[in-house]
Amino acid sequence: MSDPAITYLLKQLHHKLELTPEVSEKDRELLRQLAADIDGVLTEGKVPAAHQPPLLARVQDAITQLEAEHPDVTAMLAGVSRKLSDMGI
């Protein structure tokens, strides 16, 4: 299920995080976990644990949580969210 467009978006997001030191460690961990879960779904078809909310909902929650302080990061997350939605994830 690998998709080059979403892989590219995730790489851009990682790069942006490297260049944005004011993102808190808590928010970085949230984004790292989301990226790992997205990568797992794309490369292995691995669905996150059943006790977690759906992946797309977690991405949307991260957008809401980060949008005021990090609009560039949330813009990238919105692109990831759209692509996941287009893929039916």
Domain ranges of the chain: 4-87
Residue-level pLDDT, tens digit, the chain, 89 residues: 567 888 888 888 888 888 888 888 898 888 888 888 888 887 776 665 555 678 888 899 999 988 888 888 888 889 888 888 887 77
> What DSSP string runs through the chain?
---HHHHHHHHHHHHHHHT-TTS-HHHHHHHHHHHHHHHHHHHH-PPPPTTSPPHHHHHHHHHHHHTTT-HHHHHHHHHHHHHHHHHT-
pTM of the model: 0.74
Q: What is the pLDDT of residue 2?
A: 60
